[in-house]
Chain A
């Protein structure tokens, strides 16, 4: 029972990090997009992680037994509230009346750092899942 719980938790983390990677890729790809369907420049998107208790009908029993083990879930995708960067370029087709173009508020360096963090977290969770599998297989040796 316990190892499947652990693998579940690791799997939840892996999909959460993958979502984050998708958003980072989207941010990087649209770092210079000035035109979007919603109007205006592209706005940087970020994922919100929340620690959620393990699901299950017998919530109390599980929490007691699990001792506070929580998995992670992406509870939402928010847009960065920072205003777009303004750049003076009157010839640009998207320039506003003053001649400023609104560029996305994406900081490429920050996105790269986020990407490294997400990769590290993903690898760590892969390791945890492998360790759980390893331990479960080892337990089978008791009966060999």
Chain B
């Protein structure tokens, strides 16, 4: 409960975002690796809408069942955020090539760059928030 008050939901959101974007990078790597494989359809991780919904949930509504019995169950918004897993879906791409491969190299590269930038931003913002907390605890010195 103390942790709930000290680390607000923004920190949870940032942590979750980092997690999801790392997984998304794995998927994009998989797509790039199979850019020449016949019959391969690229897939991606869709989580923005889920995150938005979880963020807008009013506090106190959710109650998560923790995966492990010794985990402390989270309440409210933190629970909603914890439950966001992201959906693996196929890339709504253009027509497949001659060999059935649907990977567009340029699209994947741009997606990867955006993902990387947002990942780095999340990490940096999280570090800054922790820094702010440390400053507050250290009493401004």
Task: Please encode chain B, from 92 to 127, with 1 for each CB lying within 8 Å of some chain A CB and 0 for all others.
Answer: 000000000000010011001100100110011011
- In the A-B complex, list the 8 residue pairs whose CB atoms are closest, starting with the nearest: A13-B33, A69-B30, A67-B88, A49-B37, A6-B29, A2-B22, A9-B29, A6-B26
How far is A124 from B111 in the complex, measured between Cα atoms in Å? Answer: 12
Secondary structure of the A contact surface, majority rule: helix
Among B22, B32, B120, B126, contact of A13 (Cβ-Cβ < 8 Å): B32
B34 A49 Cβ-Cβ under 8 A:
yes
Give every chain B residue within 8 A of A120 (Cβ-Cβ): 105
Among B29, B40, B43, B88, contact of A128 (Cβ-Cβ < 8 Å): B29
- Write the chain A residue with the least CB distance to B105: A124
Give every chain A residue within 8 A of B36 (Cβ-Cβ): 16-17, 20, 49, 72, 117-118, 121
- Write the chain A residue with the least CB distance to B101: A49
Count residues on chain A whose CB falls below 8 Å from chain B CBs.
Answer: 40
Among A5, A69, A72, A128, contact of B112 (Cβ-Cβ < 8 Å): A128
A10 B35 Cβ-Cβ under 8 A:
no
Task: Please encode chain A, from 5 to 33, with 1 for each CB lying within 8 Å of some chain B CB and 0 for all others.
Answer: 11101101100110010000000000000
How far is A138 from B127 in the complex, measured between Cα atoms in Å? Answer: 10
Interface positions, chain A 116-139, Cβ under 8 Å from B, are 117-118, 120-121, 124-125, 127-129, 131-132, 134-135, 138-139
How far is A135 from B27 in the complex, measured between Cα atoms in Å? Answer: 15
Binding site for A on B (CB under 8 A): 18, 22-23, 25-30, 32-38, 40, 43, 45, 86, 88, 105, 108-109, 112-113, 116, 119-120, 123-124, 126-127, 130
- Least CB distance, B99 to chain A, in whole angstroms: 10
Q: What are 26 of the A-B contact pairs (CB < 8 Å)?
A: A2-B23, A3-B25, A5-B26, A6-B29, A7-B29, A9-B33, A10-B33, A12-B33, A16-B36, A50-B37, A51-B34, A67-B27, A68-B43, A70-B40, A71-B34, A72-B33, A120-B105, A127-B109, A128-B28, A128-B32, A131-B112, A131-B113, A135-B123, A141-B124, A142-B126, A144-B127
How far is A143 from B28 in the complex, measured between Cα atoms in Å? Answer: 27
A71 B109 Cβ-Cβ under 8 A:
no
Give every chain B residue within 8 A of A144 (Cβ-Cβ): 127
How far is A49 from B34 in the complex, measured between Cα atoms in Å? Answer: 8
How far is A20 from B35 in the complex, measured between Cα atoms in Å? Answer: 13
Among A9, A121, A138, contact of B26 (Cβ-Cβ < 8 Å): A9
A2 B30 Cβ-Cβ under 8 A:
no
Give every chain B residue within 8 A of A69 (Cβ-Cβ): 26-27, 29-30
